[in-house]
Amino acid sequence: MRVLGVISTLLFTFCFIPQIIAILKTKNVSGISLWLWVFVVLGYL
């Protein structure tokens, strides 16, 4: 059970990295990356 907690914590910690990369590449902050939502949902599981 502890392993699942660690995995969930890592997903929540790193879920914002794809969003940051998308913002840096496009210089546009109006949209939210699909990968952000994917990692957030996986973190909740």
Q: Considering only CA atoms, which of 20, 42, 14 is closest in space to residue 33?
A: 20
More confident residue, 31 or 20: 20
> Domain limits at 21?
2-44
Per-residue pLDDT averaged across 27-45, rounded? 78
The reported pTM is 0.54
Q: Considering only CA atoms, which of 22, 25, 24 is closest in space to residue 33?
A: 22
Structure confidence at residue 39 (pLDDT): 79
Q: What is the pLDDT of residues 8-23, one digit of tens each?
A: 888 888 878 888 888 8
Distance CA 1, CA 3 (A): 5
More confident residue, 21 or 39: 21
Domain count, the chain: 1
Say if residues 29 and 23 touch (Cβ distance below 8 Å). yes
Average model confidence (pLDDT) across the chain: 82
